[in-house]
Amino acid sequence: MKNTTFVLAEQCIMKPFTEEIKNACDSFSCGNGKIEQDLNDFFVNDSFLYREELLGKTYCWLTKESPRKLVGLFTISNDSIKTTYLERSTSNRLNRHISNSKRGRSYPAVLIGRLGVDEKFQGHGRFVGTQILDILKDWFTDENNKTGCRFIVVDAHNHPRTIKFYEQNGFKFLHKTEEEERQYYHIREDEPILTRLMYFDLKNL
């Protein structure tokens, strides 16, 4: 973990995000930009619907001090990387790090559906987003983890700041070029690529 005076695991507690917690805490906001507004709307409204439909589970970090404040939230769900549908070079790149006897058509992964940090806790050397990612990496490599999980994947907003954040935390593009990703998702050439699929190989830890 990077040097910081704000240690998430010591100064906060993590809980599943519920309507009760939302109503008991100060309002949560990642900021006022378009991407940030999308995150705000998801956490405040859609995250509970995802939980009810078993499509994703959202967790939150709360300050231990009273009154408690929401520091960060993230939503995760089960996923996989299916090498059958990837470009040959991309499939080879993934398989290269997996023993020959265990190579297959699909590898288990966990998807970060959303990750947001309240604007009051952004910057100033706190590295809250990085600390959340580090904790998630520990979750799925811990011996008490109840399921096999080789990769963490994220559909990152195709914005330089977002891409840089995930790259700095060890994530790589699954598709090397936007053109390759466009073909994979059948996106027309005149349509923008709003997200880039990125992955982290947990065996790198």
181, part of any domain: yes
Unique residue bearing structure tokens 């914005």: 159
53, part of any domain: yes
Domain count, the chain: 1
180, part of any domain: yes
Predicted pLDDT of residue 119: 95
145, part of any domain: yes
pLDDT per position as a tens digit, 101-112? 888 889 999 999
Which tokens hold the place of 126? 């706190």
Q: The domain spanning residue 74 has which CATH number?
A: 3.40.630.30
Nearest to 34 by CA among 161, 126, 125: 161
142, part of any domain: yes
Predicted pLDDT of residue 8: 95
Predicted pLDDT of residue 171: 98
pLDDT per position as a tens digit, 147-196? 999 999 999 999 999 999 999 999 999 999 999 999 888 999 899 999 99
3, part of any domain: no
The residue ranking higher by pLDDT, 3 or 103, is 103
169, part of any domain: yes
Predicted pLDDT of residue 202: 97
CB-count burial class (<10 Å; 0-12, 13-18, 19+) for 135: middle
- Give the single-character DSSP code of 170: T
pLDDT per position as a tens digit, 30-83? 999 999 999 999 999 999 999 999 999 999 999 998 778 999 999 999 999 999
The pTM (predicted TM-score) of the whole model is: 0.92
Instruction: Transcribe 78-131 into DSSP letters.
Output: EEEEEGGGS-HHHHHHHHTTS-GGG--SEEEEEEEEEEEE-GGGSSTT--HHHH
1, part of any domain: no
Give the span between the Cα atoms of 184 and 159, in whole angstroms.
Answer: 20
- Are 78 and 2 in contact by the 8 Å Cβ rule? The answer is no
- Are 103 and 95 in contact by the 8 Å Cβ rule? The answer is yes
- Are 109 and 153 in contact by the 8 Å Cβ rule? The answer is yes
Range of the domain at 41: 8-204
